[in-house]
């Protein structure tokens, strides 16, 4: 598109502000002023005679009335059936090297991540032992490789594959996993979308805990806990102290952003220090405007459903799927979404979301 010379290369400074805040550029913006992208689940109808275009939605995550509460076994069986059907459907497609060998792709992914984490002296990301257990439980091959890449050397190479900038460093292990898997398979199934469908992110749990935090006396929070956390040195990224620090930092942002305020890389305060006055003047879009748009669409739903809907429409599309476009995603099939979103509020209580307890997720996950 840019090589054609028909599109101006002017930087969209407003989009740059959103990228720095969220580590991706939310639709419909891109990095360029004269280039726009379609929102997920939308299409563009073009009248060839007049040249005019009209954007419209052809599908969205269903947000109907929730079904009656079911037992753990019932909703787990329902989810297992929906995801299982989606997996079988995608395995039955062409290019099936799965018939030759079954792979546990997620185990492969974390095997590649393991040494990257070791080099950063942060073992809190290493889930290799857990994935070996999952592989044994499911009776599948667990293929992994310990590698020591130079991430800096991969940067320029990876940028050639990106339609838009992405600030999530997981693009590096994603690429390395894909390269490793390609030696044996031509089609891969990805678990991306599972956290959005089943409430797996810890930000969901933090949102529930924030209400409990606010019930503490203000003086206790402001004069004791928060100054104490500020003085403690950082630990592992997923260590308890760092989690507590990020939890408190998230409370500084607009509560209307729900759990996503804990994903903000640069809020208003940090943006004031990063950009010049001229750049800030060119950023009229309020921070989190796209999040608030999705929150409004689900305003009649309970809070858990709103959070899951927001993630499916924002973080999943703008970040997760943008860095794993060569895979197929059973968890994001229409059947899985239709089956599971109807039971979001009844099957996922505030104590379940963000939990790593085996009881918090169906057996298929």
Whether residues 289 and 269 share a domain: the answer is yes
Q: How far is CA 208 from the centre of its chain?
A: 19
Domain that holds residue 217: 202-297
pLDDT surpassing 80 at residue 221: yes
Q: What is the mean pLDDT of residues 126-131?
A: 78
Whether residues 142 and 231 share a domain: the answer is no
Q: What is the mean pLDDT of residues 267-280?
A: 92
- What is the tally of structural domains in the chain? 2
Whether residues 292 and 336 share a domain: the answer is no
Q: Is residue 42 part of a domain?
A: no
| Buried b or exposed e, range 241-279, using 16+ CB within 10 angstroms | ebbbbebbbbeebbeebbbbbbbbebbeeebeeebeeee
Q: Is residue 37 part of a domain?
A: no
Whether residues 83 and 183 share a domain: the answer is yes
Q: Is residue 84 part of a domain?
A: yes
Q: Is residue 47 part of a domain?
A: no
Q: Is residue 95 part of a domain?
A: yes
pLDDT surpassing 80 at residue 52: yes
For the ranges 115-119, 173-177, 322-326, the one whose mean pLDDT is highest: 173-177
Q: What is the pLDDT of residue 70?
A: 66
Q: Is residue 312 part of a domain?
A: no
What is the token pair recorded at 273?
């220090």
Domain boundary among 297, 323, 341: 297
Q: Is residue 322 part of a domain?
A: no
Assign 2 to helix, strand or coil: coil
Whether residues 156 and 82 share a domain: the answer is yes
Whether residues 276 and 289 share a domain: the answer is yes
């Amino acid at each position: 598109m840019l090589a054609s010379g028909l599109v101006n290369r002017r930087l969209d400074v407003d989009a740059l502000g959103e990228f720095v805040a969220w580590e991706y550029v939310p639709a419909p913006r891109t990095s360029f002023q004269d280039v726009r992208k379609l929102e997920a689940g939308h299409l563009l109808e073009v009248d060839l005679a007049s040249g005019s275009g009209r954007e419209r939605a052809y599908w969205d995550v269903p947000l109907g009335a929730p079904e009656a509460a079911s037992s753990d076994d019932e909703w787990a069986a329902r989810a297992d059936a929906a995801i299982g059907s989606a997996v079988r459907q995608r395995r039955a497609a062409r290019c099936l090297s799965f018939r030759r060998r079954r792979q546990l792709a997620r185990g492969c992914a974390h095997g590649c991540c393991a040494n990257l984490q070791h080099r950063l002296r942060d073992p809190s990301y290493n889930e290799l032992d857990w994935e070996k257990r999952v592989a044994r439980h499911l009776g599948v091959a667990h293929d992994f490789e310990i590698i020591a890449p130079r991430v800096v050397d991969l940067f320029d190479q990876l940028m050639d594959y990106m339609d838009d900038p992405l600030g999530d460093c997981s693009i590096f292990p994603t690429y390395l996993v894909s390269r490793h898997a390609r030696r044996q398979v031509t089609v891969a199934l990805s678990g991306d979308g599972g956290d959005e469908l089943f409430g797996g992110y810890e930000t969901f749990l933090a949102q529930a805990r924030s209400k409990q935090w606010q019930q503490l006396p203000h003086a206790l929070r402001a004069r004791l806990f928060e100054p104490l956390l500020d003085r403690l040195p950082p630990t592992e990224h997923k260590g308890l102290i760092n989690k507590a620090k990020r939890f408190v930092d998230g409370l500084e942002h607009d509560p209307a952003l729900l759990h996503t305020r804990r994903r903000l890389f640069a809020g208003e305060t940090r943006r004031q220090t990063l950009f010049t006055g001229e750049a800030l003047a060119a950023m009229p879009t309020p921070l989190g405007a796209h999040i608030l748009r999705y929150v409004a669409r689900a305003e009649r739903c309970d809070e858990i459903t709103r959070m899951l809907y927001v993630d499916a429409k924002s973080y999943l599309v703008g970040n997760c799927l943008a860095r794993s476009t060569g895979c197929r995603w059973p968890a994001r099939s229409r059947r899985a979404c239709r089956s599971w979103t109807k039971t979001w509020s009844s099957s996922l209580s505030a104590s379940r979301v963000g939990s790593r307890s085996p009881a918090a997720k169906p057996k298929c996950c």
